[in-house]
Structure 1
Amino acid sequence: MKILIVDDEPRHVRGMSNMISMMRPDAQILAAKDGIGALEIMRSDRPDVVLSDIQMPLMDGLAFLKQLEEEGIRTKVVMVSAYNLFEYAQTAIRHGAYDYLLKPVDSDKVEELLKRLELQLAAESKQQDESADMRQRLHMTTSAYRSRLLHLWLSGNLSDEERAELEALDIVKDANTVVLTELSFTQQVNKDRSICPPELVQQLEKVWSCFGQAHTFSLNTVLNNGVQLVTVVHPVSPIHEKRREIREALSSLREAWLSDGELIHGVGSNPDPLIHDIGVLYRAAQTAIAYTFHDCWSGTVFHDELLFPKRTVFRLDGERLFEALQEPGMDSVKAMCRSAFDELAAEGQTDPKLLKEYASLTLMKIKSRTRDVIDRHAGSVVTETAVMAIPNCAGYEQLIQLIAAGLGEVHQSLSDRKQDKSEMIMEKCLSWIQEHFMKDLTLEMAAEQFFFNASYFSTLIKSRTGKSFSDHITEARMRHAKELLAAGNLKIYEIAARCGYRDTKYFTRMFKKQTGLSPEAYKHISFSQTRNED
């Protein structure tokens, strides 16, 4: 309990404060020396009880009490005075005083007074809570019933009696615009996703009220991760004239809710003020909101902006795409897909369902084309992307990313297979060099042997082994030359010939370049080492 003591005598203030503090240690005690100071405290702190002297300078207790009455400040005021005069008590009670105490104040009477005050304050608090709860329940019941009527109105299932009730609401009169709004919550938002945030209802109503009479209510539609709302509008001027301002206002609202989720809107309106078929407008809003899939609309689509083109163009060559997937990088693949789907999207005019169908079909065709080449994991990822992820994706850029991700699995699998095949070819090539190094081998001969272009084969060998084709031949020949020289039973020209060199001098230069020794020196050193070992 918060108690204000008003008295121009400091000792009286201290005495009363100490007495109440001993009786009620948890009470919050405030003090003022006259009526003017007490009024300031009343306006700012709103104490529950005031104990005020009557005789005070500037503004006495009775004037203070009268001022409270004029300002509508309701609190329990107990007048305290040394004068036992009936007219004082009568005046105080007439101006709303709760009770009257005589100085010197008796502690038992103060205790009795505090008990009565506590009981009455508790009773009033309980009554206020019950009244507030009743008002809230009444508001919720009225709002729920009104929303039910509006739901039936949208679906065209109103009875005559219900229609009469609904038409009594000003909002439905001459309404020619219906807005369907969806809020899809992000995974991080910890909310009951079946309950529409009341602040969103208020904010939508506020936005649309700038353009006409508006009423927003939530739909009882079950979404996986969000809620739907409908705003019925009777615009002051035709909606198409305010389209830019509306889109800016809704974009700002979208930004405000970005931390909670994605906010999108579909607007169905009828330019003819004499036609108010709410069912048609609602279905138009449903169609329009589906096109927010296209990022170019920035989350708001007006139904009359859609052209519904009859002819769709999709220019993605499957064979060219397959060839691009065999290139080292994904740049060509991504560029081809982006170009083809941008053209198909027709600047946001193509039905998102059609885009998704072409996306899934593209992935499944590539999977079929590569089914004997790519591994099982890549095939499973492509299928899951085409069958599950793409049909459920929420936006155009997400669709493009899913296509790229699915094709990326195929590209990686093809690259891995090509790399494995290259490793096998390198092993065979190096073995082939070991078997034929004594012949006059050329890069063209090796490339033809393994069915490769000579230039590509040269690059492949270098990238896989770090050495050129000629380096591998030279190493094989030098290795064999060392073995023959160490044996010591052949002449230098004979060893050169057996290692594939027709020119003995050229063989000598090459051997010295590779080992740092001439063939004769290497032969001598090898022979000496062999003899010492023996």
Structure 2
Amino acid sequence: MDSVLIVDDEPWVAKGLNVLIDWESLGYTVIGEAYDGIDAMEAIEKQKPDVVISDIRMPGLNGIELLESIRLQGLQTKVILVSGFAEFDYAQKALQLGAFDYLLKQVDRNTLTETLLRLKMELEKRHIGKREPELHLEDLFELLEPDNNIKISNFMINREMEFEFPHYRFISCLYLHSSASDAVIEQATQNGIQWIRFRTGQNKTSYLVNYDEQKSPADLLDFISGSLDSAHYMGISGIGLYSTPIGKLYQESDIALSSSSFLQAQRMTEYKSTDHIAELSKLVLKIELAIKGYKRDIIRQGLNELSEECEKRSMLIDQISAVYNQIVLFVYKYYGNSDFAQGLEYLTYSQIVRSCESVRQLFERIGVIFAQQSDEEMLLSKETVKKIIDKIDSSYTEDISLSMLSRQFNVSLGYLSALIKKETGTNYTDYVVAMRLNLAKELLSDESLSIQDIVERVGYKDYFHFNKLFKKHFGITPSKHRKI
């Protein structure tokens, strides 16, 4: 149902319009009446109706001024103006300002019905135009999930596509600015390469490339150097076949891209499944024994060595994440009941990219909890604790990291992590994510906001990351939640 606000300075006229036709049979619901332009504008700002039917001659704001205010605020509300004066200049002014139509009093039932039916067609086009990209993005989100076993062959058959070459790769690109293309999926052929382009983020585009690795490996290099030269960072998956799950291949490219952007050592990274973790087992064991014995100097030394090894080996971000989480596991294994350990959290590779600036900073999260806390920290006042929590509560839609908060309030990262978990019952990341997602859930009831609008309003940029978090938190995607 599209919502309607009726505005007239004569209440009996407004009520007459309210009962003149069967609104619901036409797909509308009247959400209220207003009896002057100022009250009407307040109601419009608060309720954001799809349609306003307003008299022109009113005290406060007249109908033309009301229409101007709606347009100045960038609202998408459609306006039908009504007047008892059959004057051409009123109608001309109204249409110039974008009024949908101009009706004369006394409003005829058939005329109003015909106008609303025409308007309904326009509103339906707007709703479809707004939601169709979101539905496509949701389908794409499901398709590219790493645990989705849909094969490239199934995807191609379902979209009635035919690719002639035996090999596939995903190439994910990160740009400094948003992609100029709004298309979710596009297909093209170029110089011996067939590809499908997916818009996988605000500044991110991914390509499923089909080529012949054995006969024409240079075609892929030509495509990268020619068509993707404007990408700031690039991640290339391993080689896939017709039977390879499409989600697996995409995740490989995403891991490679995240590795490039996080390590910043090279612009382009290719995914390789080298097991660095086994090669680092002696160093990891050394750190475990130091943690068990609470030998702070050896812990710090071992973590520094581990950081250097990760960087020197140009380890992919998913393996860095695995090593980090293994060390976190040791901390919980030996000190799980201690307050100082409660600030530590397991991190996925995408969380690491979003919350840390370097490998060294990542492992410092572990090292700082073994540092001796200062007397000032141990005696942190309740007022300061409240200020910290209030700061988080008022700024959770902004890009504020835990390290920024630790610098602002002059406390160590480990102590701050433990403090937040003690006060809120959860770690910093989960606390912020929960608040953002609860706000998003509320905003989804506002049909005037697209899901991309909501993503940005609650503090995210990447639709896919938001979608994944929302589904994990509520068990349903945001688009499906909106339909409930």
TM-score (norm 2): 0.37
Structure with greater proportional helix content? 1
Structure ID, larger Rg: 1
User: RCO (CA 8 Å, sep 6+): is it higher in 1 or 2?
Assistant: 2
Per the normalisation by structure 1, the TM-score is 0.34
